Amino acid sequence: MRRFRDWWANPWGKPRFLVLFTALYLFWSIVPILIAIRFSFNEGRSRSTAQGWSLRWYTDDPDLSVLHDPALSSALLQSLRLAAIAVLVTVPLGVALAIGLTRWRGRGAGMSRSVSLATLVTPEIVMGTALLLVFIHLLTFVQLGTMAQAIGHITFSLVFVVIIVRSRLLAIGPDYEEAARDLGASQLQALRLALLPMLVPAIVASGIIVFAISMDDFVISAFLSSGTGTDTVPVRIYATGRTAPTPALNALATVTLAATIVIALVGFVLWRAVRRTRGQTGSTVGEFAALDAEPVR
- Cα of 288 vs its chain's centroid, Å: 28
pLDDT single digits (tens) 213-272: 999 899 999 999 988 888 999 998 888 877 778 888 889 889 988 988 888 888 888 777
Pick the more confident residue, 125 or 1: 125
Question: Is residue 140 classed as helix, strand or coil in its secondary structure?
Answer: coil
As a whole number of angstroms, the distance between CA 114 and CA 264 comes to 30
Q: Is the pTM of this model over 0.85?
A: no
C-alpha 254/C-alpha 30 separation (Å) is 13
Query: Residue 284 above 60 pLDDT?
Result: no
Single out the residue of 228, 211, 188 nearest to residue 72, CA to CA: 228
